Amino acid sequence: MAEVWEVPGALDGERLDRALALLTGLSRREVNHLVDGTKVTIAGRVVASRSRKVRAGEQVSVDGPLSPAPPAAPVGDAGVAVVVVWNDADVIVIDKPAGLVVHPGAGNQTGTLVHGLLARFPDLVGLSESGSAGAEFRDQHDRPGIVHRLDKGTSGLLMVARTRAARSALVAQLSRHEVEREYVTLVAGTLEADGGLIDAPLGRADRDPTRIRIDAGGRQARTRYQVDGRYDQPAPTTLLRCRLETGRTHQIRVHLASIGHPVVGDERYGGRAVSGWKPLPRGRPFLHAAALTFDHPLSGERLSFSSALPGDLVEVLEQVRVQSR
């Protein structure tokens, strides 16, 4: 039997997927599953577009079930290498290589960091069990312990929770902006100022929800940057250290592209390869999570970790430095 919701004024103009997630309490993935399965209608007409804007007073009908069964939880795969920087009974700190997806998702059901973690830390399986309630289970059954992510092409430091209590504490620190995350990146062009703040909200593009854009109605996003070096050969580039004050999807990449300085190698947001360089592999932007600081979820001790630039980025940076002398 279909269930019906009336769109309130507060959601007027919102995308269908976001509005329906808020109205039903389902995850965005579950909502997308319903929309793609032609289970959602407005005014008696099937809506096939997740990005369709809803209007106050419209009747949105969903032909259930409203809680589709999630796919099976992932299993450990010892073939996925996991570089552990530090761990104890509550937290694991990983140094992720570029090219490794963090958790299962569309097109990546095997071979992710989560699969490698489950093989090395079998206790994480407990965070995937269906005994978890409601939204927490929907969020965690295929990404046990994951509290934040790095893009597939980005390398560097990532923290993972080993218990539900640790996850709650780390998520709370992230929401309060108490976790310090510093990235090293090489961008196209020369930044004249030695540092600055990019404060621009981000949202998903209507036509491609996997692409992020500056959006006045999006979520707050703030990135601070500091110049570490400027180079003029084989083309002008600037080496930056960026600190996240918020942690939105593709935040650094989109923010830097928005001020005309896309990350080198980030083809999606305009950071094309520079003629005369040995190119980075496709899908590998010059972006590395180099420093991570947070409070231990149990003891409260402030913990800090650092990761050196990996070899592929060192090679590019050395080439730039040599040619710019």
pLDDT digit string (tens) for 220-231?
999 999 999 999
**For residues 74 and 114, is the Cβ–Cβ distance under 8 A?**
yes
- Dihedrals φ, ψ of 3, to 5°? -110, 145
Q: Domain 177-325 is classified in which CATH homologous superfamily? A: Pseudouridine synthase (3.30.2350.10)
Per-residue pLDDT tens for 58-107? 999 998 666 555 556 788 999 999 999 999 999 999 999 999 999 887 67
CATH of domain 2-63: 3.10.290.10
Specify the 3-state DSSP secondary structure of 315.
Answer: helix
Helix (H) or strand (E) holding 114, with range, is helix 113-120
d(C-alpha 48, C-alpha 38), whole Å = 6
Tell me if domain 2-63 and domain 177-325 are identical in fold: no
For residue range 133-188, list pLDDT tens digits in order: 344 444 566 789 999 999 999 999 999 999 999 999 999 999 899 999 999 999 99
Point out the residues that are catalytic.
151
3-class SS of residue 128: coil
Burial class (CB in 10 A: 0-12, 13-18, 19+), 69: exposed
Q: How far is CA 314 from CA 186, 211, 226, 243, 310, in A?
A: 11, 28, 19, 20, 6
Domain boundaries, the chain: 2-63, 74-175, 177-325
Q: What is the CATH number of domain 74-175?
A: 3.30.2350.10
- The structure tokens 């040995």 sit at 278
